[in-house]
Amino acid sequence: MAPIDRHAEDRNTPDHTPDRGPDRAPDGAPDRSPDRSPDGGAPDPAPEGRARGRLSAEQPSAEQPPSHPSDRRPPADRRAHSHDSAAANPRATADHRGAADRHTATLALAHALSAAERGLAVIPLSRTKLPALRSPHHEDPQPSACRGECGRMGHGVYDASTDPLRIRELFAAAPWASGYGIACGLAPYHLIGVDLDTKSGADAPAALRELALRHLFTIPETVVVMTPSGGRHIWLSGPPDTVVPNSAGRLAPGIDIRGAGGYLVGPGSRTEHGIYSTVPGTAHLPPAACPPALLRLLAPSPRRRPSPPATDAPPSAQQGHGLVQFVLAAHEGQRNTRLFWAACRAYENGLGEALVGPLTDAALRVGLTLREARSTIASAARLTGHD
Ligand SMILES: [Zn+2]
C-alpha cells in the first residue's frame, strides 16, 4: 500500500514545534481574525462549524483528496508552504489561515482514507481529539442511547466506517476536522491500543516492560504511533471472540487500554498539541496479534463473553471469588501485580470494600507482607477513585 507508507515516511520527522500549531499564523501574528471563533479549539464543534461554514461553502473542494504530491507533505512543511504563499500573494492573513485549515482538513481526510484502505474504520476528529461531529441528540434531556440507529451522523465512534463514500460524507459534515480516530475492537483486526502515557509522570514504558517480564510476554513488532507529548500507542490485534474493555491505569499507572467502543488518534492527525506520527519502520506492519499472556490481563475473565463488555457485568460473589483465586494463583514475581490488578477490578465493580479482607488474606498466603498488601490495595483504591 504505497500511499500510506509514503505518508508514514513523510511523517517520521518528529514535530519539534508542537506549540506552534496551525492555529497560529505562519508569520507569528496573534491568533485573532474574523474567520475564527474565539474558542477555536473548543471541544464543541458547533462554534467552529458556524465560523467556518463560509469557508467550506467557498471551497467545496476541501472535501476532495489531495491529487498533487505536494499536498501530501507533512504539516511542518505545509507551514513553510503557506508562508511562501503569503509572500507571493498579498492577501489577508485570515485567508491564508483559512487555506491552512482547509489543507489540514484535506490531509486528515487523506490519512483517514488511507487507514480505511487497510480495513480500519475511521471517524473525523477535532483538534481536541474528540469526535468532530456533535451528537444529533445533544439537546435531549436524557443522554441518548442511540448508536446511529437514527440514521444521522454524530454518534462518535459508532459513526466509524471503512467505506470511502461514507468517510467523505463524515468529513464533509465536519470541515473543521484536523484528524481522525480509528475505532478499536472491530473486524478485521479487533484493534487493541496500548497507550503509554508520559504526561502523568508515570514511566509507562518501564511499567510495560515490568509487566512483560512478570507475565512472560514480549511486545511483537507492530505499528507504533508517537503522540505529540512523547507517548506511544502500540497497536495490537485481538481475537474476534474476546471483548477487551477500555481502561485507564488499570494495568499499571500510565498505561491506558483502548478496546471495544474506544478509538485511537490515527497517524497523520493534527491536534492542539501537534501531530501524531508512526515510529519509523512500523507504518507498513499489520497490527500484530496480542500476546496471550497480555490478553489475559486485558480481558481476564475465563468466561469469554461477546457482550456486554466486562465493565457492564454486575458485581457478584462469583466475580469476587475469581479475583481472590487470581491472587492465590500468583507466582513469586507476579504477586504484587496480580494483587494490584485484582484490587482495581474489585473497586471498579463495587466490590472493593467487601474484598479488602479476602484479597489481603490471599496476598499474605502467597507470601506478600501485610504492609505490601495494604499498600498495593491502597494504590488500587486511589487509582480507581476510592480512597
Ligand atoms: Zn442517533
Contact criterion met (CB below 8 Å) for 159 and 148:
yes
CA proximity to 222, closest of 278, 296, 298, 297: 278
What is the C-alpha separation between 213 and 209, in angstroms, rounded?
Answer: 6
**Residue 282 CA, ligand 1 centroid: distance in Å:** 37
What is the C-alpha separation between 39 and 272, in angstroms, rounded?
Answer: 12
**Residue 141 CA, ligand 1 centroid: distance in Å:** 14
**Residue 180 CA, ligand 1 centroid: distance in Å:** 20
**Residue 145 CA, ligand 1 centroid: distance in Å:** 8
Question: What's the pLDDT at 161?
Answer: 97
H or E stretch at 265: strand 263-265
Contact criterion met (CB below 8 Å) for 343 and 355:
yes
**Residue 267 CA, ligand 1 centroid: distance in Å:** 28
**Residue 142 CA, ligand 1 centroid: distance in Å:** 13
**Residue 154 CA, ligand 1 centroid: distance in Å:** 7
**Residue 299 CA, ligand 1 centroid: distance in Å:** 29
pLDDT digits (tens, 9 = 90+) for 263-310: 999 999 999 999 999 999 999 999 999 999 999 999 865 444 444 444
**Residue 107 CA, ligand 1 centroid: distance in Å:** 28
**Residue 383 CA, ligand 1 centroid: distance in Å:** 34
Question: What's the pLDDT at 179?
Answer: 98
> Which protein residues have a CB closer than 5 Å to ligand 1 (ion)?
146, 150
Contacts by 313-318, CB closer than 8 A, 24 or more apart:
313/349, 315/349, 315/350, 315/351
**Residue 159 CA, ligand 1 centroid: distance in Å:** 10
Cα 190 to chain center, whole Å? 14
**Residue 137 CA, ligand 1 centroid: distance in Å:** 6
**Residue 134 CA, ligand 1 centroid: distance in Å:** 11
Domains defined for the chain, CATH in brackets = 2-181 (no CATH), 191-292 (3.30.2250.10), 314-383 (no CATH)
Asked whether the CA dihedral 10, 165, 104, 90 is positive or negative, the reply is: positive
Exposed, middle or buried, 37 (CB in 10 Å: 0-12/13-18/19+)? middle
Contact criterion met (CB below 8 Å) for 234 and 90:
no
Cα 80 to chain center, whole Å? 29
**Residue 169 CA, ligand 1 centroid: distance in Å:** 16
Question: What's the pLDDT at 64?
Answer: 37
Question: What's the pLDDT at 133?
Answer: 96
Strand order in the sheet with 179-183: 122-125, 179-183, 263-265
**Residue 149 CA, ligand 1 centroid: distance in Å:** 6
**Residue 139 CA, ligand 1 centroid: distance in Å:** 12
Mean pLDDT for each 10-residue chunk of the chain (387 residues)? 38 35 34 35 36 33 36 39 42 73 93 96 96 92 86 94 97 97 95 89 88 91 96 96 89 92 97 96 94 89 44 58 86 84 85 88 90 90 79
Question: What's the pLDDT at 267?
Answer: 98
Q: What grid cell was written down for 346?
A: 474489585
CA proximity to 271, closest of 234, 229, 223: 229
**Residue 7 CA, ligand 1 centroid: distance in Å:** 34
